[in-house]
Amino acid sequence: MGTLAAYANKTTYNYLSFESVDGGVVSVPVESLSITISGTTLIAGEKAFLLSNLRKMFFSESDKTTDISKLAITDWDNITDIYDLNGRKITRSQIKKGAYIVKSKNGTYKLVVK
């Protein structure tokens, strides 16, 4: 276990950001950050990335997250909010075929129901 702090020109970088080949970015806080590589997967904190899908990683002062992850079925218990694509908050019982934005304790996800 170690602590990662990055400094340059008197600037503190609080996030390590990962850019995927499709241009999406996910940032993770560097405080108490643990990074491991297992097979073809890089795990940074609670986020996992396929190495073949990563374009670059870089330090940043602020959270640069633009990517919305896919919802893992195990995250259903942690859902806090569900929104349709018009921004209306809905309940689980209102989910029909379509696309939704789902917020959970672990992040924000896109959900496509077929």
Kindly report, residue by residue over 58-89, the tens digit of the pLDDT.
Answer: 999 988 887 665 555 556 677 888 998 888 99
Q: What span, in angstroms and rounded, lies between the C-alpha atoms of 61 and 79?
A: 28
Backbone angles phi, psi at 66, to 5 degrees: -125, -15
Q: Are 89 and 102 in contact (CB under 8 A)?
A: no
Task: Extract the tokens encoding 3.
Answer: 């602590």
2 vs 18, higher pLDDT: 18
**pLDDT confidence of residue 10:** 58
For residue 70, what pLDDT is reported?
Answer: 55
Which segment, 2-6, 72-76, 88-92, is predicted with the most confidence on average? 88-92
Domain boundaries, the chain: 6-60, 69-113
Q: What is the pLDDT of residues 11-39, one digit of tens each?
A: 688 999 999 887 888 889 998 899 999 88
Look up residue 79 and give its two tokens. Answer: 């859902």
